[in-house]
Amino acid sequence: QQQVKQSPQSLIVQKGGISIINCAYENTAFDYFPWYQQFPGKGPALLIAIRPDVSEKKEGRFTISFNKSAKQFSLHIMDSQPGDSATYFCAAPLRNDYKLSFGAGTTVTVRA
């Protein structure tokens, strides 16, 4: 049973468009929300992360927004580029735990 529910499963966006991936969680003991990016044939790599004491974090074209009351967090990819085509995973660890619960993943395809 996945503790983090991710949607959509896949999305296609035109170059320059905005990609939005959503994750919902139920366990309020989660205290950190990283996003991992995985290119075909590679292992996942940390992209960006947020703590629940802030509502938004931006790094370049990537922004995480966090809604604690709704128990949701989202990844926005602004001005999407073909090089952003990858699978994105949201994740969350329980407080005082030593493992991450991952979402099912979203495959993003950016068309030139």
Partner 1 sequence: EAQVTQNPRYLITVTGKKLTVTCSQNMNHEYMSWYRQDPGLGLRQIYYSMNVEVTDKGDVPEGYKVSRKEKRNFPLILESPSPNQTSLYFCASSLSADRVKETQYFGPGTRLLVL
Q: Which is nearer to partner 1, 96 or 112 (CB)?
A: 96
Q: Which is nearer to partner 1, 17 or 49 (CB)?
A: 49
Contact between residue 42 and residue 108 where contact means Cβ atoms under 8 Å apart: no
Please give the size of the binding site for partner 1, defined by CB under 8 A: 22
Q: Taking CA 1 as the corner, what is the angle to CA 57 and CA 66, rounded to the nearest 5 degrees? A: 15
Among 17, 31, 52, 65, binds partner 1 (CB under 8 A): 31
Residues 89-108 that bind partner 1 (CB under 8 A): 89, 93, 98-100, 102-105
Contact between residue 73 and residue 33 where contact means Cβ atoms under 8 Å apart: yes
Query: Does residue 32 bind partner 1 (CB under 8 A)?
Result: yes
State the Cα–Cα distance between residues 77 and 99, nearest whole angstrom: 26
CB atoms within 10 A of CB 23: 26
Q: Return the bridge partners of 22, or none.
A: 7, 74
Q: What is the smallest separation between the CB atom of 43 and partner 1, expressed in angstroms?
A: 3
Binding interface with partner 1 (CB under 8 A): 2, 6, 9, 31-32, 34, 41-46, 49, 89, 93, 98-100, 102-105
